[in-house]
């Protein structure tokens, strides 16, 4: 009796099953995170390596509207309008990459949530490509207020395992996140791209200048962040 020949598909079966299981994780967890307080991949990494994690969850209505507006005007001015991905910014980023130019970043707040919850931090084209469908899915499942609430509670806000605005605000200013004025709110917002280096408690001249620009934008265009306020309004 002739032996059956092994087909290439048999060798791919296990990797395909693994990939399917990995793809199922965000599909299952995203609806769960409508009700459960999630932890991020960087938080999980610190837990697994025995390093401290400081995070106290704050409901979005217990966070200063000034910080919400500052975060949106600093990181993603179209947050309330797009479906998780800023298509025009992403197209420009792709064009820059194809021309060999330096990446400027086109991650929306929703894409950052997708990365922090399900992906890795090393910047590479594969991670960016995965962020796009994940962000679209998150925006489909979650309302904007919940996305912003998760973003503000999982963002890394300090060099010693401070995650979330409550820990970041306490470390920098000794304040609860609902008690931020324009200066402290804007300084916290512009800390987010690099919280391991930038210190809102002792900002250098460059950080103060950027925070001033963000504050001015948030004061002028705060209505762009209205989707994350109480009853569609922000008390600025």
Residue 168 lies in a domain: yes
How far is the C-alpha of 38 from the C-alpha of 76, rounded, in Å?
22
Residue 112 lies in a domain: yes
Dihedral class, residue 23 (left if φ above 0, else alpha if ψ from -120 to 50, else beta): alpha
Residue 131 lies in a domain: yes
The answer, yes or no, to whether residue 11 has pLDDT greater than 60, is no
The answer, yes or no, to whether residue 123 has pLDDT greater than 90, is no
pLDDT for position 1: 47
Q: pTM of the full predicted structure?
A: 0.88
pLDDT for position 137: 96
pLDDT, one tens digit per residue, over 135-177 is: 999 999 999 999 999 999 999 999 999 999 999 999 999 999 9
pLDDT for position 203: 94
- Of 222 and 19, which is predicted with more confidence? 222
- Average model confidence (pLDDT) across the chain: 86
Tokens, residue 81: 């309008």
Mean pLDDT value of segment 123-132: 84
Residue 13 lies in a domain: no
pLDDT, one tens digit per residue, over 73-120 is: 999 999 999 999 988 766 655 555 555 555 555 689 999 999 999 998
The answer, yes or no, to whether residue 18 has pLDDT greater than 60, is no
The total number of structural domains in the chain stands at 1
Phi, psi dihedrals of residue 190, rounded to the nearest 5°: -80, -5
Residue 138 lies in a domain: yes
Residue 41 lies in a domain: no
Nearest to 43 by CA among 210, 157, 124: 157
Highest mean pLDDT among 42-56, 103-117, 189-203: 42-56
Tokens, residue 228: 């994350």
How far is the C-alpha of 224 from the C-alpha of 125, rounded, in Å?
29
Residue 23 lies in a domain: no
Q: What angle do CA 52, 57, 63 make, to 5 degrees?
A: 125
Residue 17 lies in a domain: no
The range of the structural domain enclosing residue 86 comes to 52-227
Phi, psi dihedrals of residue 87, rounded to the nearest 5°: -60, -45
For residue 80, what is the domain's CATH number? Answer: 1.10.3810.10
pLDDT for position 19: 58
């Amino acid at each position: 009796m002739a032996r059956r020949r092994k087909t290439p598909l048999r060798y791919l079966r296990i990797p395909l099953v693994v990939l399917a299981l990995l793809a199922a994780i965000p599909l299952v967890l995203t609806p769960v995170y409508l009700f459960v307080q999630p932890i991020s991949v960087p938080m999980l990494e610190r837990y697994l390596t025995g390093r401290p994690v400081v995070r106290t969850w704050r409901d979005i209505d217990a966070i200063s509207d000034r910080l919400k507006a500052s975060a949106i005007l600093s990181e993603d001015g179209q947050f309330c309008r797009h479906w998780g991905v800023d298509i025009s910014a992403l197209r420009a980023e792709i064009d820059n990459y194809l021309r060999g130019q330096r990446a400027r970043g086109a991650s929306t707040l929703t894409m950052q949530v997708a990365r922090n919850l399900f992906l890795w931090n090393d910047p590479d084209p594969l991670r960016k490509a995965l962020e796009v469908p994940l962000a679209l899915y998150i925006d489909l499942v979650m309302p904007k207020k919940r996305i912003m609430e998760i973003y503000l509670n999982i963002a890394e806000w300090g060099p010693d395992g401070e995650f979330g605005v409550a820990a970041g605000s306490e470390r920098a200013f000794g304040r609860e996140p609902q008690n931020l004025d324009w200066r402290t709110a804007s300084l916290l917002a512009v800390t987010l791209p690099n919280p391991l280096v930038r210190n809102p408690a002792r900002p250098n001249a460059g950080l103060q200048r950027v925070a001033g620009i963000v504050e001015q934008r948030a004061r002028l265009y705060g209505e762009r962040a209205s989707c994350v306020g109480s009853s569609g309004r922000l008390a600025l």
